[in-house]
């Protein structure tokens, strides 16, 4: 019996630490967004702002920091393994607050913001880049 008790901890230690909960592929779907970005208006080609996106909390979240002249904002993003969706909370220097929910769709990350009234739902495509880009 004493050998079994000693052997169990040794076997667990030999197997290594348990896998980190946020190391699975779904938690990496937004990795294409991580980095420093100079953002341009697609219609005019003029500079629109700057974005810095970083992974936090051992890869379990992403933080976006946005800035442009006279305006700043940011978001915290997390993948929910429970329902397979990404959640993004946005707030900015003008007091706006938005909750987006979404997922990969056809190789693009699509996050949707819904207004208070369901019949007024607005689909806002944030970070709608292909993960392959």
pLDDT digits (tens, 9 = 90+) for 40-71: 999 999 999 999 999 999 999 999 999 999 99
Q: How many folded domains does the chain comprise? A: 1
Q: Higher-confidence residue: 12 or 91?
A: 91
Residue 2 domain-assigned (yes or no): no
pLDDT at 7: 46
Residue 76 domain-assigned (yes or no): yes
Interacting residues of 54 by C-beta distance below 8 A, sequence separation 6+: 34, 62, 63
pTM of the model: 0.71
Residue 75 domain-assigned (yes or no): yes
Burial class of residue 113 (count of CB atoms within 10 Å of its CB; 0-12, 13-18, 19+): middle
Supply φ then ψ for residue 41, to 5 degrees. Answer: -65, 125
Domain carrying residue 46: 20-120
Low-confidence winner among 11-20, 52-61, 124-133 (lowest mean pLDDT): 124-133
Residue 131 domain-assigned (yes or no): no
- Side-chain-side CA neighbours of residue 40 (13 Å): 5
Look up tokens 């429970």; give the residue: 82
């Amino acid at each position: 019996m004493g050998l079994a008790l000693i052997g169990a901890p040794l076997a667990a230690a030999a197997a290594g630490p348990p896998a980190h909960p946020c190391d699975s592929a779904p938690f990496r779907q937004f990795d294409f967004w991580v980095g420093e970005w100079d953002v341009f208006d697609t219609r005019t080609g003029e500079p629109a702002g700057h974005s810095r996106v970083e992974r936090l909390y051992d890869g379990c979240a992403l933080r976006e920091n946005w800035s442009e002249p006279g305006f700043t904002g940011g978001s915290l993003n997390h993948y929910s393994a429970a329902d397979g969706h990404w959640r993004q909370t946005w707030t900015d220097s003008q007091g706006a607050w938005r909750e987006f929910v979404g997922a990969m769709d056809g190789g693009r990350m699509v996050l949707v913001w819904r207004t208070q009234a369901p019949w007024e739902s607005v689909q806002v495509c944030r970070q709608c880049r292909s993960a392959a880009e």
